[in-house]
Amino acid sequence: MSKTPNRKTPARPGAGTDGRAPAKAARAASARRPATRRGRASRLSAGQVQELFSRLRELNPHPTTELEYSTPFELLVAVALSAQATDVGVNKATRRLFPVANTPQAILELGEEGLKRYISTIGLFNAKARNVVAASRILLEKHGGQVPRDRAALEALPGVGRKTANVVLNTAFGEPTIAVDTHIFRVANRTGLAPGKDVREVEEGLLRVVPPEFLQDAHHWLILHGRYTCKARRPECPRCPIRDLCRYEHKTLALPGD
């Protein structure tokens, strides 16, 4: 008995070369390609990273935080209050608060309800008041009323996470840390400076690629760039000083009024 020869099933009209419909073929091809996340870009070279920070430094040689403070404790409180709030809003509140209470002892004496009266214009002020008072108590009991220059001790304070600890270590104590907020996360991914899927990955990537001469101020340059130029909804690419280095695929071509 002879066997029937194997025959390939004719492709359906409009099907891809593998016999699947175009949409299915496209999805299959897409699945075989490395996945890319919208807003993520390929990495900059070491030379491009050096050039990026050289330009940012030339434009702003001595960057610093826009939060107003005069002591490490004031900075700690201001950063704790800034979560999900603007620096402008925090400064308005602390201009009233700090002349009255700017030490752990003074905050403790003011109390939670008293503190709320000064920070009620800031989002999540109930939880923030509770955390600031609790942190002040721990600073008095365990650290002699001083803000510790130690990450673990800082992160043990209520309301203080890794980002807040990084800001305090960098800005108050001169440590070469990078606090990744929403602005820095966006800039690092768009430009290709240090792409990452979460803030910790971006932080570790930045610490690997930022040249030592720029590490101390990198946090401030990147946050200011994200806040005023590489904005979330409409980045101001035409006036960006690093646009020729940036790997972002969806650059703004023109700004209103140009």
String of DSSP letters for 56-70: HHHH-SS---SS--S
Active-site pick, 18, 181, 198, 251: 181
DSSP tally for the chain: helices H, then strands E? 11, 0
Q: Is 44 helix (H, G, I), strand (E, B) or coil?
A: coil
Residue for token digits 């939670």?
A: 112
The pLDDT, as a whole number, for residue 84 is 87
Q: Are 241 and 228 in contact (CB under 8 A)?
A: no
Instruction: Tell me whether residue 181 is one of the annotated catalytic residues.
Output: yes
**Measuring CA to CA, how many Å separate 106 from each of 110, 149, 230, 252?**
6, 21, 40, 49
Give tens-digit pLDDT for 86-110. Answer: 999 999 999 999 999 999 999 999 9
Instruction: Tell me whether residue 251 is one of the annotated catalytic residues.
Output: no
Taking the CA of residue 35 as centre, how many other CA atoms within 13 Å lie in the half-sphere pointing to its CB? 4
Strand spans (E) along 6-88: none
Q: Are 245 and 48 in contact (CB under 8 A)?
A: yes
Q: Which residues of 66-93 are buried (b: 16+ CB within 10 A; e: fewer)?
A: bbebeebbbbbbbbbbbbebebeebbeb
Active-site pick, 18, 87, 163, 251: 163
Which domains can be identified in the chain, with CATH numbers?
Answer: 46-63+178-239 (1.10.1670.10), 72-172 (1.10.340.30)
Q: Is 10 helix (H, G, I), strand (E, B) or coil?
A: coil
Non-local CB neighbours of 164 within 8 Å, separated by 6+ positions: 76, 79, 80, 83, 154, 179
Give tens-digit pLDDT for 40-71. Answer: 568 999 999 999 999 999 999 999 999 999 99
Q: Kindly report the number of other CB atoms within 10 A of residue 36's CB atom.
A: 11
Q: Are 76 and 160 in contact (CB under 8 A)?
A: yes
pLDDT in tens, the chain (258 residues): 444 444 444 444 444 434 444 444 433 333 333 334 444 568 999 999 999 999 999 999 999 999 999 999 999 999 999 988 999 999 999 999 999 999 999 999 999 999 999 999 999 999 999 999 999 999 999 999 999 999 999 999 999 999 999 999 999 999 999 999 999 999 999 999 999 999 999 999 999 999 999 999 999 999 999 999 999 999 999 999 999 999 999 999 888 866
